[in-house]
Structure 1
Amino acid sequence: MAHPVPPMWLEARPELGATDSAHLEHARSLVRAMTLEEKLPFLHQHSPGLERLGIGPFSTGTEALHGVAWRGPAVTYPQPVGLAATWDEDLLAAVGDQIAREVREHHAQEDPASLNVWSPVVNPLRHPLWGRTEEGLSEDPLLNARLGTAIARGLRGEGPCWTTVPTLKHFLGYSHEVDRAATSSSLPPRVLHEYELPGYEEALASGAAGAVMLSYNLVDGVPAHLSPLVNDHLRRVVADPDLLFVVSDAGAPTNLVQIQDAAADLTEAVAAMLRAGVDSFTDHGRDSGPTLRAAREALARGLVQEQHIDHAVVRQLVARARTGEFGAAADASGHTATGTSNSPTGAGFDRARAVELSQEVAARAAVLLRHQDEALPARPGSTLAVIGHLGGTVLQDWYSGELMDPVSLREALEDSHDGPVRFAAGLDIVQLSADGVPVLCGAQERLELAAASFKDDVGAVDDEHPGLGEPSHAAEGSDAGGARFEVRDHGHGVLSLRETSTGLWLAPDAHGHLRARAPRIGGWVVQETFRPLRSADGRVRLQHVGSGRWLRAERQTGRLVLGGTEAAQALELSWQVRVSGLQQAREAMDGADLAILVAGNEPHVHGRETEDRASLSLAGPDQSLVDLLAEAAPTTKTALVLFSSYPYDLGRHEEAAQAVVWSSHAGARQGPALASLLRGEREFSGRLAQAWIRERALTDILDYDVISSAATYLYGQEALYPFGHGLALEPTRWSDVALEASGQSVSVAVTLERDGAWPAHEVVQVYATVDAAAYPHDLGPLPALRLIGSRVVEVPASGGVRARLEIPWTRLRVWSEEAADFVAPTGTVTLHVARSSDDVERSAEVSVPVL
């Protein structure tokens, strides 16, 4: 018998099928056959299994946010914030399917990947300063739920045997990083039910996801890992409570003791989490000892009963059974069958097909934000200038796999365009020296001053520059000019240095010596970033951001090494610019027919896990490059291409370029995808799933009450580029818009026509405005505009299609605290058929039937 379901405005309803029923019975029978000591190891993230019952070792969690991560080379798709810009559920399901197939390939390796994948992230994009914005999908609850479910559906696969078990992240009220384990998110009932929960409800109730990860923060003063909503709500959304597998975030059990003061010791923490419905504990790395000792002590003290352990183990075994691990799948009669019926349908992985899909999605996800004066596409035979560091590289983020054969925008244009393509990174190239002694890149790429040894006697150390003695003689074979370094200024007082002869970024080794050693900027604690402290005479001290230590020179060797934490102890370096990045850019732009300025962010700097960003502004160096566009000749068209993990407030640069294009960091095929759009080989089709708001409209990042604060487009937040916005080079014509109300839904139809060079993917968006008087209770502020439906429609280059949507009236429901339920409006409501939340084709009043 199906477990009761809470009221939801979403349409999905769970059903207990024969296969899951058989999995439940099999898992429960296995647990009944275990002793207590045999059950306990299943609680930890890394379980040794139980050979006696034919249960192998198991670990939770393969990172698969936008491709298989942390396991070497893998196909990487656009960041989720970019995937969402397609608005295309079928396309995102296809991405999920390909990721799951590649996970299966890794699962077959000697070090098997877990089939419990930690994806997708369904936390709404409530605040653009959130350091993990790139991991989320949308600020709108309906679009967030639909797209998250689509990715999960692809990861799950078709048929009774799941390809992987998707894990929804991170429950609940989590979209800030600073002090994330110590802060509490306040979620009033309407915000909880209308805004935060739908992303989880839709995917779980539809059977697309089988697991949930809990978040670090507290919610209304209660740690999310102890939330009563796990058992009282999430487990009621699925057909049987044991069909939902709940995992902790890394280190969260210990956080309950050390940061949140929610438990006196780990025993109390583990007991409270088990009672709250947590099934798997990710803590202490691969060492399960502390968790198992705590569970034993909790049982001995009567803090939990054995049935709590039983449920946790059953839920893990059901998740594993769903992927066919135990060699049998249940048929409709409840009997088991072996062989091909127990394998995911078509689970083979075709890498070439996946790479092709990644390029297609990267092109579909790019958004044309602004377009004037026919700046795009690039004309055949024209001279192009690609300006900016990001035009010549492809970046990855913390949850990317190792990129395979990445192709930058510069490379793609050089390969495909039939005219000259110039490139200027726009980065200064400098040489460093101390008191006239140049910095060299010596043996093993170690940075050192141009001297073989330094005096160690009295007076040898320069009091003004501690750590630097007078050189006794120049190093043999040294270049008197010293090494050259390309400066990547990230803005906000942080930079990175890349040694030009090796192309490697400077970072300290295990002993603190500075080396040209890093092929890219990244890592959990970024090692390739420095803060410069400039003196009045222009000399610079460098502080390593990751450690807080200042750069000095060793007395005997002259090697540059991280020293103390006081600036007075640092080596002062002369900073000599040998090549001006701005001058490079001017020379590249001179005489070009189209100047393409590429700017954006490094995903590991100024906003990432544990770090919220401080601003939505372009970094200062990028702003300086954008300013150069004003110098372009009247015959030079200009385009600003932004590769970023989050929206910008362009401020005074809103109109600096004739065309503005945004793409998330989009994986190895980012270059060819964007080149195809800029060259006019295809039409732009991306639409913003998160509005680009002005910085002055930002609310406090800890204010989760989006209703009272009027945050998000739903409540009229001021935007530079509105929710749903996205232009086309050749706009599609919309006509004959029709809305027809019926008993359960409203039918929407619109004719879409083109007569141009390219087909297009158009996004028909339907919004609703409902007067407060239409609801039976006083609910407080209502959305000024609310998305209730959308559809992506492919329109041929020449001709048209009739796009149709069927939208259930249930999407007009709003949570009533008085009724403790969703309530529907009566009377008339206004529906808007629109290209975006700010570009309405037709509005009409329709009557809502009594539901």
Structure 2
Amino acid sequence: MEKYQDKALTPKERAIDLVSRMTLEEKVSQLSYNASAIERLGVPAYNWWNESLHGVARAGTATMFPQAIGLAAMFDDEKLLEVAEVCATEARGKFNQSQKYGDTGIYKGLTMWSPNINIFRDPRWGRGQETYGECPFLTARLGIAFVNGLQGNAENLKTAACAKHFAVHSGPEGIRHEFDAIATPKDLSETYLPAFEALVKEAHVESVMGAYNRVNGEAACASEFLTGKLEAWGFNGHFVSDCWAIRDFHTKHLITNTVEESAALALRLGVDCNCGDSYYYLLSAIKAGLVSEDYATESAVKLMTTRFKLGLFDGNPEYDAIGFDQVSSSAHKKLSQECAEKSIVLLKNNGLLPIKRDQIKTIGVIGPNAASIDALRGNYFGTGDEYTTFLKGIQERFEGRVYYAEGSHLFKDSLQPLGEYGDGYAEAKAVAAHSDLVVLCVGLDATIEGEEGDTGNAFAAGDKNDLFLPKVQQELVDIVLELNKPTVIVVSAGSAINPKGDKADAILHAWYPGQMGGKALANILFGDVSPSGKLPVTFYEDVELLPDFEDYSMTNRTYRYAENNVLYPFGYGLTYSKVNISDLSYDPHTSIASLSIENLGDYETDEVIQLYMKDLESIEAVRNYNLCGFKRVHLKRDEIVKMELLVPRSAFEVVDQKGDRAVQSNKFRLFAGVSQPDELSQRLSGIPVKSFEIVLK
């Protein structure tokens, strides 16, 4: 038995032996995402590219969960762990069948290029929907949970997770291939890098993906600074380039002259796996002396180590037994629906919701997203074996008459190719006129909000120009609201949208809620479930008051630094009930914050306790405060629950201008509530936040 076949050795020891038997050509063949087979060594072909952002994507049928930004709105790391466990289970089930039938192609492997833990710093960014929002703390805690769920806790990895896009990457999409993101040491350490550090140190994420852009002059996929950070954090997995990012070195960033130079630079600075075709030229680069073969050897070892960790050469009885029946099972779709119910955010409610069925005989469902499957999906999605649109969910739930009008196109002037401008408005008026209540379903989808449409992407989408609905939809909203019918606006979008719904009775932000989104919406509308989602991003009033999109400074960005321009704050979201927080205390010996929460309202509901810390002394502290703890709790009517939350040491730390993190102060104020402690959040929710002064000794 050869050493690489010895299961008693570590994955790395086996990988070192296996790679030592490869020729230069064979080693190089393993460094591209579509790795070739090496039959003489028993190495099968393997495609490293697979996706599971909110369900296994692009590989046929799979359970489709709410888009990542919606999952973040749950503020529930335990539930996100369950979601990731389902993704891993379905990935294994699909992988087992693909192997059985000889399919080793793209999107069929066990290396999942998720999660996206970039910071959603600007609401115009189209790919913000893929993230967990604007808060480094929330992003880190949710990212850790997702990685743990994907990778499992057994001897072999269930799947291999990937933290992306490293780093300082959040638009603009249109110039991402040549853009240089300039970030200060303070912003790097305080905002852009903490989630990556947490996933490396705490979740032991198996891979990291580099970004397209440059960071302070260095290409993110060839950065001594970023590579140094990974080394300092103890990263021992593999590094993959974003797709065709190495090509940008010589075609966009102009830091090299040829593809051979680009491949050599990337390999030398730590890119083990190239998503793209640049490493096809690596053999000639090595032979030309542009880079040493030793780097190819080192990268091949890292990649083979991951494959050994996954059990791809030995099999794994537990994982190999996962059957195709696990894919899109009833239990998994039930979890998807539960996540959608927890993610939908109630932004406004004057008492119309929940719908009083005994008072309503007819409902009008209007809008381009009412019957849209795309409005459920977001980007990076799989294929659901069933979909419940908003219209279908309401029809299935409501016993009375449901009228429907599309009302307008998502963004075009007319619904029909030969139609006149606004050719759906009249029908929308008719439906509203015949209805006791209107549910107006508007928003975006991934055809107009998402990733730049280049190699490998499903849509030619991109960033938003403003924070409003497309013109034809805004006119539709205005027309319906002018009729003075009781109206609920439901917005599907992966980002902040202001539907100008001052005259609406209620506004729900549904994100892209997954394949069961219509059932979830209906359950909320009719009061079977209380809404409980919280905003993981700030909803701003006006894009014109934001810093320039290309400005990566955190000044006047996100809840931590916002000075004005806030429509709905980070952490905000109503329920159908009212709660009260009391008995807040903090034990410095255990770092535990204790409190009680009481349901004072008429409805059973979930709520999210949120802890924020304000440094009262340091000039290096964030302008406002930092989220430092959160926990979802279910409350029956009149129930009182005592809760304990750990306050991490990082809550007391600040980052100075050099990027160094330390505790500089003695006095702090800890806030506890179901929102931020700002005046606007407390006014909108009607629920005061409690606080406790902490003095460190």
- Deviation at residue 342 of structure 1 after TM alignment: 7.2
Partner amino acid for 2:259?
L
Distance 2:8 2:451 in 1: 38
- Deviation at residue 80 of structure 1 after TM alignment: 0.7
Confirm or deny that 1:99 pairs with 2:87. Answer: yes
| Off by >6 Å, runs of 4+ in structure 1 | 344-348
CA-atom RMSD in angstroms: 2.4
Alignment match, 1:116: 111
- What are the superposed Cα offsets for residues 460-481 of structure 1, whole Å, 9 maximum, x if unpaired? xxxxxxxxxxxxxxxxxxxxxx
- What are the superposed Cα offsets for residues 755-802 of structure 1, whole Å, 9 maximum, x if unpaired? 5343x221100111113x44xxx63x6231211111111222452211
- What are the superposed Cα offsets for residues 210-235 of structure 1, whole Å, 9 maximum, x if unpaired? 11111111111111111124431113
Distance 1:834 1:302 in 2: 61
Distance 1:630 1:348 in 2: 47
Specify the SS of the correspondent of 1:748. Answer: strand
1:357 alignment partner, one of 335, 360, 371: 335
Confirm or deny that 1:787 pairs with 2:631. Answer: no
Specify the SS of the correspondent of 2:335. Answer: helix
Is the contact made by 2:414 and 2:420 (CA closer than 8 Å) also made in structure 1? no
Alignment match, 2:576: 729
2:275 alignment partner, one of 255, 275, 282: 282
Specify the SS of the correspondent of 1:132. Answer: helix
1:247-266 aligned at under 5 Å gives the runs: 247-266=240-259
Query: Structure 1's 317 and 752: CA in aligned 2 closer, same or farther, altered over 3 A?
Result: farther
Confirm or deny that 1:761 pairs with 2:617. Answer: no
Alignment match, 2:671: 832
Alignment match, 1:843: 691
Is the contact made by 2:345 and 2:509 (CA closer than 8 Å) also made in structure 1? yes
Is the contact made by 1:378 and 1:678 (CA closer than 8 Å) also made in structure 2? no
- What are the superposed Cα offsets for residues 180-208 of structure 1, whole Å, 9 maximum, x if unpaired? 11110011111111111122111121235
Is the contact made by 1:595 and 1:637 (CA closer than 8 Å) also made in structure 2? yes
Alignment match, 2:584: 738
- Deviation at residue 130 of structure 1 after TM alignment: 0.5
- Deviation at residue 751 of structure 1 after TM alignment: 2.6
Distance 1:260 1:602 in 2: 31
2:196 alignment partner, one of 195, 200, 211: 200
Distance 2:410 2:388 in 1: 23
1:806 alignment partner, one of 634, 646, 658: 646
Distance 1:341 1:101 in 2: 11
Is the contact made by 1:618 and 1:648 (CA closer than 8 Å) also made in structure 2? yes
- What are the superposed Cα offsets for residues 698-753 of structure 1, whole Å, 9 maximum, x if unpaired? 211111111xx22111012431000000001122x223232223146242322333
Query: Structure 1's 588 and 155: CA in aligned 2 closer, same or farther, altered over 3 A?
Result: same
Alignment match, 2:345: 367
- What are the superposed Cα offsets for residues 779-829 of structure 1, whole Å, 9 maximum, x if unpaired? 3x62312111111112224522112112123322122345x6311133111
1:400 alignment partner, one of 373, 378, 381: 381
Confirm or deny that 1:340 pairs with 2:317. Answer: yes
With 396-405 and 343-352 compared, the bigger mean Cα shift is at 343-352
Distance 1:800 1:603 in 2: 42
1:376-391 aligned at under 5 Å gives the runs: 376-380=354-358, 382=360, 383-391=362-370
Indicate the structure with greater helix content: 2
Specify the SS of the correspondent of 2:634. Answer: strand
Query: Structure 1's 153 and 345: CA in aligned 2 closer, same or farther, altered over 3 A?
Result: farther
Alignment match, 2:443: 600
Task: Give the TM-score taking structure 2 as reference length.
Answer: 0.90
1:223-302 aligned at under 5 Å gives the runs: 223-238=219-234, 241=235, 243-284=236-277, 291-292=279-280, 294-302=281-289
Distance 1:752 1:23 in 2: 51
Is the contact made by 1:744 and 1:809 (CA closer than 8 Å) also made in structure 2? no
Distance 1:699 1:412 in 2: 40
Alignment match, 1:685: 532
- What are the superposed Cα offsets for residues 586-613 of structure 1, whole Å, 9 maximum, x if unpaired? 2212253321111101321255325221
- What are the superposed Cα offsets for residues 549-600 of structure 1, whole Å, 9 maximum, x if unpaired? xxxxxxxxxxxxxxxxxxxxxxxxx7557x9422212221225332111110
Indicate the structure with greater strand content: 1
Is the contact made by 1:766 and 1:788 (CA closer than 8 Å) also made in structure 2? yes
- Deviation at residue 630 of structure 1 after TM alignment: 3.7
1:299-338 aligned at under 5 Å gives the runs: 299-327=286-314
- Deviation at residue 272 of structure 1 after TM alignment: 0.9
Is the contact made by 2:414 and 2:424 (CA closer than 8 Å) also made in structure 1? no
Is the contact made by 1:365 and 1:687 (CA closer than 8 Å) also made in structure 2? yes
Q: Please list every run of 5 or more consecutive structure 1 residues that lacks an aligned counterpart in the other structure.
A: 1-18, 285-289, 329-338, 428-487, 500-573
Confirm or deny that 1:24 pairs with 2:12. Answer: yes
Distance 1:49 1:497 in 2: 50
Specify the SS of the correspondent of 1:735. Answer: strand
Distance 2:168 2:324 in 1: 35
Specify the SS of the correspondent of 1:627. Answer: helix
Distance 1:496 1:624 in 2: 12
Higher Cα radius of gyration:
1
Alignment match, 1:483: none
2:155 alignment partner, one of 152, 160, 163: 160
Q: How many correspondences in the alignment?
A: 660
Partner amino acid for 1:283?
G
- What are the superposed Cα offsets for residues 435-467 of structure 1, whole Å, 9 maximum, x if unpaired? xxxxxxxxxxxxxxxxxxxxxxxxxxxxxxxxx
- Deviation at residue 96 of structure 1 after TM alignment: 1.1
Partner amino acid for 1:117?
M
Query: Structure 1's 756 and 20: CA in aligned 2 closer, same or farther, altered over 3 A?
Result: farther
1:51-90 aligned at under 5 Å gives the runs: 51-90=39-78
Query: Structure 1's 346 and 322: CA in aligned 2 closer, same or farther, altered over 3 A?
Result: farther
- What are the superposed Cα offsets for residues 516-552 of structure 1, whole Å, 9 maximum, x if unpaired? xxxxxxxxxxxxxxxxxxxxxxxxxxxxxxxxxxxxx
- What are the superposed Cα offsets for residues 492-513 of structure 1, whole Å, 9 maximum, x if unpaired? xx457567xxxxxxxxxxxxxx
- Deviation at residue 377 of structure 1 after TM alignment: 2.6
- What are the superposed Cα offsets for residues 28-53 of structure 1, whole Å, 9 maximum, x if unpaired? 12122323232121111111132232
1:169 alignment partner, one of 164, 167, 170: 164
Alignment match, 2:492: 643
Confirm or deny that 1:716 pairs with 2:562. Answer: yes
Distance 1:256 1:78 in 2: 35
